[in-house]
């Protein structure tokens, strides 16, 4: 009885995490009529509720992989499965937060966050969700602000709220903190962990910040230079909340930097 | 040293402040009273019926400024807008006096080509009914043509920017016809359409629609593709993307097109009215010139200037409201 009640409650409030399978996916870019390989036989699985960080050198094709997972582009070869079903296009259960907050400048903060519900015709019945999402990212009271009146960190929080309002089962984060100043960045990292913990979605994060990957993720997948191949798949076996000075994380950090060919900087 | 000199400069302003007067507006009032006196007291070389009326109007205007200068500080509100305008008001009083002197008083500028201001006043007093009729007809024709053109241009622009098929078929047509001045269609339009009025609506619509179409199109094509990506992952369908992403994002471009279209519609309106339509300000200009009624012509020109700049002002007000998000001045 108790279990059943919890399940219903969970379905009403939170979407559980999505299972993601990336099966020998390869992808190319067309550049001046030539094929430029960006992904080469990338193959991994993400179990529901995991927080997986994709780590690799800049421009190696990680973001391309996210576009494929989001369904914005089809892969050239291989397949991507969400809960066992092939990803055929974008879906509100898989929401992306980009490096640039890309808020719609002509909409207020509230309307920006409400966009997903509006697009799906759910706004009338779920208005409260918008306020809730804004509260979750600590922006209650900024409903009527316009994006250009916000700082970079606040704008990124709005982008996060805009994603969370849809109850995504997979949150795709494409270097969401990449453009923030280092203090805001550290604060937002803790918030990402908190939000992921409360909502229970699966998270896929692209980053080239080793420390960020270790602070946030349950697993770090390391990619090679372009064309991206999986170099290593490292489990981060530490509980949350984590501490940046944790000796185990420091050890893993050295290991990851080694994999990235940056051991000399340690 | 410098402190002392600043103080002595500031002193008259302080005095006015203590008296609660607007010195600039007061000066404008005095200037208009002086112009009124010049109009009334300096005899005309030729007989003009309304010299006295003009002087009274100028005196009333001057008196209004003086009252505003005295009472304004207590009234505030819209009257306060007179303050920054004071230098212009003074300059206009000077221009009115100069115009008066060069025409009616000294007749250095030849009649009838250069009419004195009282002649314009006479034209308004004697012919106001016809002028109003012409203005109403002109505005009616312009607004009809402009709305048809702007709406069609907007739809065409969105289609061209959104659909590849529409762009494939529409682009060459727009490229061929777009740069051509709409007035070139005039002879064709006047026999192809049942009335000269509908022909003029078509020409004005063409003139205003083309820039709107081109700018809307470029606006829609220039939309940051990340806006679409985000909306698509949030569950937006094509219809939603057009209505809620493409069009609002393109609005700054659209307004440039609307402005350009409005300006070219004025040109087409005047030409169409001069050549075919039997009423309207363009027709009035032509008619007045035909009768050598130059004062009436100037009177119509003034009305036309006011109408055109008023319509542009309306467009800009609409833009400021709709595109308030572009500026940092929005209060919330």
Residue-wise DSSP of A190-203: HHHHHHHHHH--EE
A67, closest residue in chain B (CA to CA): B229
Chain B residue numbers touching A94 (CB-CB < 8 A) = 233
Residue ranges per domain, chain B? 2-105, 128-324
B175 touches chain A (CB under 8 A): no
B249 touches chain A (CB under 8 A): yes
For B109-114, the CB contacts below 8 A with 24+ separation are B111/B46, B112/B292, B112/B294, B112/B295, B113/B294, B114/B294
Chain A residue numbers touching B251 (CB-CB < 8 A) = 106
The CATH code belonging to domain B128-324 is 1.10.3720.10
Q: Which of B219, B230, B236 to mutate to test the interface with A (most CBs of A within 10 A)?
A: B230
Q: Is the pLDDT of residue A3 over 60?
A: no
State the Cα–Cα distance between residues B162 and A5, nearest whole angstrom: 48
Given A67, A92, A148, which is nearest B234 (Cβ)?
A92
**Which pLDDT score is estimated for A208?**
83
B252 touches chain A (CB under 8 A): no
Output the pTM of the full model: 0.82
Interchain contact, B325 vs A106, CB within 8 Å = yes
**Which pLDDT score is estimated for B327?**
67
Given B227, B233, B330, which is nearest A146 (Cβ)?
B330
Interchain contact, B235 vs A94, CB within 8 Å = no
- Which distant-in-sequence residues (6+ apart) come within 8 Å of B161 by Cβ? B167, B216, B217, B218, B219, B220, B221, B246, B250
Give the closest-approach CA distance of A6 to chain B in angstroms: 28
Interchain contact, B325 vs A146, CB within 8 Å = yes
- Which distant-in-sequence residues (6+ apart) come within 8 Å of A232 by Cβ? A221, A222, A256, A259
B246, closest residue in chain A (CA to CA): A104
Chain B residue numbers touching A93 (CB-CB < 8 A) = none
CB atoms within 10 A of CB A125: 9
Given B227, B326, B328, which is nearest A104 (Cβ)?
B227
Interchain contact, A144 vs B251, CB within 8 Å = no
B328 touches chain A (CB under 8 A): yes
State the Cα–Cα distance between residues B114 and B12, nearest whole angstrom: 42
Largest CA distance in chain B: 81
Interchain contact, A106 vs B249, CB within 8 Å = yes
Q: B254-270 in b/e burial notation, b at 16+ Cβ within 10 A?
A: bbbbbbbbbebbbebbb
Instruction: Write the burial class of residue B212 (CB in 10 Å: 0-12 exposed, 13-18 middle, 19+ buried).
Output: buried
**Which pLDDT score is estimated for B10?**
54
Q: Is the pLDDT of residue B187 over 70?
A: yes
Share of chain A above pLDDT 90, in %: 22
State the Cα–Cα distance between residues A70 and A94, nearest whole angstrom: 6
CB atoms within 10 A of CB B297: 23
pLDDT tens-digit profile of A229-263? 888 888 888 888 888 888 888 889 888 888 888 77
DSSP A244: T
**Residue B12 pLDDT grade (very low, low, confident, very high; cuts 50, 70, 90):** low
Share of chain B above pLDDT 70, in %: 92
B330 touches chain A (CB under 8 A): yes
State the Cα–Cα distance between residues A157 and A191, nearest whole angstrom: 10
- Which distant-in-sequence residues (6+ apart) come within 8 Å of A212 by Cβ? A53, A177, A185, A189, A205
Given A90, A105, A172, which is nearest B325 (Cβ)?
A105
Whether the CB-CB separation of A56 and A222 falls below 8 Å is answered with yes
Give the closest-approach CA distance of B104 to chain A in angstroms: 56
Instruction: Tell me the mean pLDDT in the region A118-127.
Output: 88
- Which distant-in-sequence residues (6+ apart) come within 8 Å of A236 by Cβ? A214, A217, A218, A219, A220, A249, A252
| SS3 (DSSP) at A120 | coil
Chain A residue numbers touching B332 (CB-CB < 8 A) = 108, 144-146, 149
Interchain contact, B230 vs A96, CB within 8 Å = yes
SS (HEC) of chain B:
CHHHHHHHHHHHHHHHHHHCCCHHHHHHHHHHHHHHHHHHHCCCCCCCCCHHHHHHHHHHHHHHHHHHHHHHHHHCHHHHHHHHHHHHHHHHHHHHHHHHHHHHHCCCCCCCCCCCHHHHHHHHHHHHHHHHHHHHHHHHHHHHHHHHHHHHHHHHHHHHHHCHHHHHHHHHHHHHHCCCCHHHHHHHHHHHCCCHHHHHHHHHHHHHHHHHHHHHHHHHHCCCHHHHHHHHHCCCCHHHHHHHHHHHHHHHHHHHHHHHHHHHHHHHHHHHHHHCCCCCHHHHHHHHHHCCCHHHHHHHHHHHHHHHHHHHHHHHHHHHHHCHHHCCCCCC
Interchain contact, A119 vs B237, CB within 8 Å = yes
Distance of CA A154 to the CA centre of its chain: 17
Residue ranges per domain, chain A? 17-93+171-266, 103-167
B225, closest residue in chain A (CA to CA): A102
Give the closest-approach CA distance of A90 to chain B in angstroms: 5
**Which pLDDT score is estimated for B2?**
45
Q: Which candidate, A101, A102, A96, A127, places its Cα nearest to that of A114?
A: A127
Interchain contact, B234 vs A91, CB within 8 Å = no
Q: Is the pLDDT of residue B328 over 70?
A: no
DSSP A138: T
Instruction: Tell me the mean pLDDT in the region A5-29.
Output: 67
Instruction: Write the burial class of residue A123 (CB in 10 Å: 0-12 exposed, 13-18 middle, 19+ buried).
Output: middle
B242 touches chain A (CB under 8 A): no
Instruction: Tell me the mean pLDDT in the region B214-223.
Output: 93
Instruction: Tell me the mean pLDDT in the region A87-101.
Output: 89
Give the closest-approach CA distance of B235 to chain A in angstroms: 5
Give how far Cα B121 sits from Cα of A26, A88, B272, B290, B309, Å.
Answer: 82, 74, 27, 20, 21
- Which distant-in-sequence residues (6+ apart) come within 8 Å of B127 by Cβ? B296, B299
pLDDT tens-digit profile of B284-318? 999 998 888 899 999 999 999 999 999 999 999 99
**Which pLDDT score is estimated for B329?**
42
Interchain contact, B240 vs A105, CB within 8 Å = no
Instruction: Write the burial class of residue B106 (CB in 10 Å: 0-12 exposed, 13-18 middle, 19+ buried).
Output: exposed
pLDDT tens-digit profile of B269-289? 999 888 877 889 999 999 998
Q: Which candidate, B262, B277, B279, B134, places its Cα nearest to that of B193?
A: B277
Chain B residue numbers touching A102 (CB-CB < 8 A) = 224, 226-227, 230
Largest CA distance in chain A: 62
Q: Is the pLDDT of residue B132 over 70?
A: yes
In total, the C-beta contacts within 8 angstroms joining chain A to chain B are 78
A161, closest residue in chain B (CA to CA): B234
State the Cα–Cα distance between residues A163 and A155, nearest whole angstrom: 13
Average pLDDT of every residue of chain A: 85
Q: Which candidate, B188, B178, B187, B183, places its Cα nearest to that of B209?
A: B178
- Helix A152-164 crosses helix A109-119 at what angle (to 10 degrees)? 20
Instruction: Tell me the mean pLDDT in the region A47-73.
Output: 88
**Which pLDDT score is estimated for B196?**
87
Give the closest-approach CA distance of A148 to chain B in angstroms: 7
CATH architecture group of domain A17-93+171-266: 3-Layer(aba) Sandwich (3.40)
B332 touches chain A (CB under 8 A): yes
Chain B residue numbers touching A73 (CB-CB < 8 A) = none
Interchain contact, A115 vs B226, CB within 8 Å = no
Collect all residues from A whose CB is shorter than 8 A from any CB in B. 67, 70-72, 89-92, 94-96, 98, 100, 102, 104-108, 115-116, 118-120, 144-146, 148-149, 162-163, 166, 172
Q: How far from each other are the two terminal CA atoms of chain A, in whole angstroms? A: 54
A144, closest residue in chain B (CA to CA): B332
**Residue B81 pLDDT grade (very low, low, confident, very high; cuts 50, 70, 90):** confident
């Amino acid at each position: 009885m108790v279990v059943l009640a919890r399940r219903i409650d969970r379905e009403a409030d939170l979407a559980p995490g999505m299972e993601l399978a990336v099966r020998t996916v390869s992808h190319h870019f067309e550049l001046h009529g030539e094929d430029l390989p960006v992904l080469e036989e990338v193959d991994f699985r993400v179990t529901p509720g995991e927080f997986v960080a994709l780590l690799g050198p800049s421009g190696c094709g990680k973001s391309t992989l996210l576009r494929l997972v989001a369904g914005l582009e089809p892969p050239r070869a291989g397949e991507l499965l969400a809960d066992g079903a092939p990803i055929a296009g974008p879906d509100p259960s898989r929401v992306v937060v980009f490096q640039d907050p890309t808020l719609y400048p002509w909409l207020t903060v509230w309307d920006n966050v409400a966009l997903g519900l509006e697009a799906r015709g759910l706004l009338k019945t779920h208005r409260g969700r918008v306020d809730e999402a804004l509260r979750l990212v600590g922006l209650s009271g900024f409903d009527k602000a316009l994006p250009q009146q916000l700082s970079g960190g606040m704008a990124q929080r709005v982008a996060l709220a805009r994603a969370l309002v849809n109850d995504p089962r997979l949150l795709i984060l494409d270097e969401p903190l990449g453009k923030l100043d280092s203090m805001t960045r550290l604060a937002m990292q803790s918030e990402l962990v908190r939000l992921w913990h409360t909502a229970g979605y699966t998270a896929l994060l692209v980053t080239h910040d080793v420390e960020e990957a270790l602070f946030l993720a349950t697993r770090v997948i390391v990619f090679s230079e372009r064309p991206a191949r999986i170099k290593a798949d490292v489990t981060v076996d530490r509980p949350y909340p984590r501490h940046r000075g944790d000796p185990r994380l420091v050890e893993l950090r050295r290991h990851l930097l080694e994999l990235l060919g940056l051991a000399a900087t340690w | 040293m410098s402190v002392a000199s600043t103080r002595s400069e500031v002193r008259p302003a302080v005095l006015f402040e203590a008296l609660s007067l607007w010195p600039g507006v007061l000066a404008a009032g005095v200037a208009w009273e002086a112009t009124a006196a010049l109009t009334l007291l300096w005899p005309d070389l030729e007989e003009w019926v309304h010299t006295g009326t003009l002087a009274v109007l100028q005196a009333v205007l001057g008196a209004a400024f003086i009252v505003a200068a005295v009472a304004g500080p207590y009234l505030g509100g819209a009257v306060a807008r007179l303050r920054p305008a004071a230098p212009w008001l003074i300059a206009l009083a000077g221009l009115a006096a100069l115009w008066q002197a060069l025409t009616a008083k000294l007749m250095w500028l030849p009649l009838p080509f250069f009419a004195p201001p009282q002649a314009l006043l006479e034209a308004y007093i004697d012919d106001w009914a016809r002028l109003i009729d012409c203005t109403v007809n002109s505005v009616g024709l312009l607004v009809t043509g402009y709305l048809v053109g702007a709406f069609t241009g907007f739809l065409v622009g969105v289609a061209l920017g959104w659909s590849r098929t529409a762009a494939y078929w529409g682009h060459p047509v727009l490229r061929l016809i777009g740069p051509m001045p709409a007035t070139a269609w005039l002879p064709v339009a006047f026999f192809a359409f049942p009335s000269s009025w509908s022909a003029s609506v078509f020409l004005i619509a063409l003139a205003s629609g083309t820039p709107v179409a081109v700018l809307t199109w470029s606006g829609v094509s220039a939309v940051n593709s990340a806006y679409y990506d985000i909306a698509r992952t949030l569950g937006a369908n094509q219809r939603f993307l057009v209505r809620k992403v493409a069009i609002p994002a393109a609005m700054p471009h659209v307004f440039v097109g609307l402005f350009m279209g409005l300006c070219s519609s004025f040109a087409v309106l005047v030409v169409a009215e001069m050549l075919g339509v039997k009423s309207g300000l363009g027709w009035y200009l032509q008619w007045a010139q035909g009768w050598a009624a130059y004062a009436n012509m100037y009177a119509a020109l003034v009305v036309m200037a006011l109408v055109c700049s008023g319509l542009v002002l309306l467009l800009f007000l609409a833009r400021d409201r709709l595109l308030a998000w572009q500026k940092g001045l929005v209060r919330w």
